[in-house]
Amino acid sequence: MKKIILSIDGMTCSACSNGLEKYLNKQNGISSASVNLVMANALVEYDEQILNKEKIEQFVKEAGFKSLGLYKEEALEKKRKNRKVLFIIFSILAVILLYVSMGHMIGLPTAKILDMHENPKVYTTTLLILTIPFLIYGFDILKNGIKNLIHKSPNMDTLVGIGVISSMAYSLYSMYMIFNGQTHYIENLYFESAAIVIFFIKLGRYIDGISKDKTKEAIQNLVKITPNHATVKIDGKEKRVTLDEIQKGDIVVSKPGDKIAVDGEIVLGKAHLDESFITGESKPANKTIGEKVIAGSINYDGYIEYRAERIGKESTISEIVRLVVEATNTKAPIAKVADKVSGYFVPAVILIAIITFIAYLVLGYEFSTALTTFVTILVVACPCSLGLATPLAIVVSEGLCAQNGILVKKSEVLENAQKVNTIVFDKTGTLTYGTLKVSKITNYSKLKTEELMQIVGSLEAKSTHPIGKAFTDYLKENKINTLSVENFEDVSGLGIVGNIEKEEIIVGNAKILSKYEIKNTHTKDEILLTENGNSIVYVVKNKEIIALIGVNDVIREHTKDIISSLNLLRYRNNYAYRR
């Protein structure tokens, strides 16, 4: 069996991806096919003795889509740039077209040569020339619309296609009559309607494409959390391997600064691991023999060996990616209603337009009047609001939420948000900054706070311990320079020691006091810091404690104000409800 990933063009909804997936899985020679709407690709596992890439691409074409060849991110990036440039060009053209066709209606100055009454032929020709590029730009919409009509499954593209083609046909007829001297047909031109309908449909798809690109980027960033390579121990020797070479039961080596390659269990050593991308907890977890490790975690300061347990699709990261992809394929209830309505709406509008056209002819109206009414119904009923308003509202809402740090897992959440009466906050990274910071400094020395922190920060800058970053961040935020450190020593599990300006400074936890026989006379302050959730750092100089420093995940500046505002809002809503 061989695997291939193809880049797919033409998928606009989950129904498209589901339909293609089902069609591919029915084909002889394909053992499994998985189509991803968000990534716009199809993973196909097939028997290479029966099929090849060209035959699979033919299956994709038969299903109504187009294969763009092997999935390559570089090619997609180029396509995204081209799409953006095209959209900008047609946005400018749309403004020009609207100015020429409707500028006079709102009193905008227009050149005499383009005046519809003084120079109708030039005016009409100009509109046609400006409209033709839009027909080319929206050819895929017109093609899909007609194809679906032929297959007896009309959709939004079908209504757009009929409306655009009818508008163009009648406009060309009116143009012919204008050139034959009947200038009153100048009022019956719909060139700009056909062009702008295409433009707005493309606008909706462009915005939707931006949303999908952001989702793809988020998924790719998740995938990048795990390293590409790892070190495996085989017969006592270390070997560098790629991630897909790791098998269950392999012993994987992790050194300070490495990322954990796969989910597993520690069999040797201990280390502090940053698992914040999973747990949200800012404090690195102290892991030792027998404890589990998660792929993507960062090893701060220790040497460990762990047994590979969950690899590939079984890993925690793969499960998260799967959930994110599934979430992107969900629809809000209102969007589902729009899809259902459009299934009846499209054929109903076509039927109404045809009946109206025939009725006008039977009632004795001129053919031009009947045709005008027919086109008007199609153009006016063109489902811009139905096809664009709902997804556009969802995309804009999700974008605004993302800008404010709110992750919307499913689109239906946006509809249900109006019913919210209780908010539960996650502490780490939400009410707090999500990183360790210096929260409290108790200074017993004659040094100024800035001088004390400069000494401690200079020592911590030499350390790899996660708490050390709180001090280096403090120096950066307060623009304090580091001092020269001599005879630096990292006392594993206890703290650090070094000489600054020829004086020995000891920084560490309570255990380091016992090692260097330092008497602790500040137990009351120690208890107070602990009760407030701080990790305590002891600073010792000349065998005497000169400071206790509390390190914690600090509450954000405006947290109290936000909670107060929400409580006030709840009170007002409850009061309004009771009234």
Q: Reduced to 3 states, what is the DSSP secondary structure of residue 11?
A: coil
Q: How many residues does the chain have?
A: 579
Tell me the domain boundaries of the chain.
Answer: 2-71, 86-220+331-392, 229-314, 428-555
Q: What is the pLDDT of residues 174-218, one digit of tens each?
A: 899 999 988 888 888 888 888 988 898 888 778 777 766 766 666
Which fold does the domain 2-71 belong to in CATH? Alpha-Beta Plaits (3.30.70)
Active-site choice (9, 47, 115, 426): 426
pLDDT for residue 79: 67
CB atoms within 10 A of CB 377: 20
- Tell me the residue type at 353: A
Residue found under tokens 């939004």: 156
Higher pLDDT, 279 or 298: 298
pLDDT at 577 over 60: no
426 catalytic residue (yes or no):
yes
Would you tell me how many other CB atoms lie within 10 Å of the CB of residue 457? Answer: 24
Q: Give the residue carrying structure tokens 């800008």.
A: 403
Of 56-65, 241-250, 333-342, 408-417, where does mean pLDDT reach its minimum? 333-342
pLDDT at 280: 67
The CATH number for 428-555, chosen from 3.30.70.20, 3.40.50.620, 3.40.1110.10, 1.10.20.10, is: 3.40.1110.10
CATH of 229-314 given 2.160.10.10, 2.40.50.140, 3.90.1150.10, 2.70.150.10: 2.70.150.10
For residue 93, the SS3 value is: helix
- For residue 128, pLDDT beyond 90: yes
CA 324 – CA 219 distance, rounded (Å): 7
